[in-house]
Structure 1
Amino acid sequence: MYKIIICFLFSIIFGIQAKTHIDVKELRCLVCKATLEELDIAIKKIDPSRKVEIGGYRLDPEGNLKQRSISEAKSEIHLSELADSICEKMEDYIRATWKHNGKLTILRLIDSNGQMNVDMGRVDVIQDDDLNKSLKYYCEGIIEEYEESIIKYYKNDSKNIEVKVCTEEAQLCPFMFPEPKEPKQHETDEL
């Protein structure tokens, strides 16, 4: 009887350790995607009617200033400020694994409406010794290294910025597919 209990305890302990092993490359890929999603959200919140003047304050040979007005959302200075502050958002994320397949994910605790993330019941939260500070650290590293490219893509209204930065430039995500979601309750009932 004691042997069975000891074997059971060992299987639980080793099972928990296996679940909490995190592939750093996969985690950095998830952080890269989340960082650009957060940046996208922040840029979309900018009022499109807000304009900034860009150009030099020097006169051309005819005595005119060469300035033009652009949307604040495409201003290099404003984009740089957003990029520099976006990693603060990583403090709102947790590491977890999807219950249905054990795949690693990072989730925002609170959604944009101020409600608890609806996916919290679909994941197993991974207890983290550093209280998820590494998520912010990885974010800061990505921003520091790829900020120029990120700003360039947003200034030019590029499509698939996540793929361009996270996959092509940073090579953090060897391939990019949408995050697998657990089937909704009514979908599983029909099966």
Structure 2
Amino acid sequence: MDDTLTDAADTELSPLTPRPARRSARARRWIAALVTVAVAAGVALLVSNLLGDAALFFYNADEAVERRDELASQRFRLQGTPLSEPENTFYLDQPVLAFPVGFDGAVVDVVHTGDPPELFQPGVPVVLEGVWRQGPGPGPVVAGDGWHFASDRMLVKHDNDYRSRDDYDERITDADQGGALP
């Protein structure tokens, strides 16, 4: 037999399991650069959101009324004390709360979109976040100056005084009297 001839099994030319192609060094550098840019963009977005909230100016109601012309299109925080119970109504087809707030003799009509905090009540100071809108809002018009403050975020100010269980009866009495403390 001829040694040059081999069995058919030895000459099997079926494909081997293909190996995954390795990415070139250039492709790996591009991927690393894209991941770095994406992470940097995410961090920048997060920082800008955090700084955006910190950069909002804070004005008492009287200061906001005095500076209305320069604040007309800016978002800011307004502090005041609700003067009456809020009225549940609709504004631009959305449920809103309408109520006036006051500070140092100035009154601002507020139209708040969203649920108020549980501690919200007349006489308890609030900080509202929003913008001035020209024209009266729905509900009670107390200020009557042709403007209202459109708010979408509300914080209720409260003291940090803890009352023990012994003061419970006093708190109930205070609540029955409308919470009006001297």
TM-score bin (small chain): under 0.3
Specify which structure has the bigger relative contact order, considering alpha-carbon pairs within 8 angstroms and separated by 6 or more residues.
1
Give the TM-score normalised by the residue count of structure 1: 0.25
User: Whose Rg is larger?
Assistant: 2
Larger relative helix fraction:
1
Give the TM-score normalised by the residue count of structure 2: 0.26
Larger relative strand fraction:
2
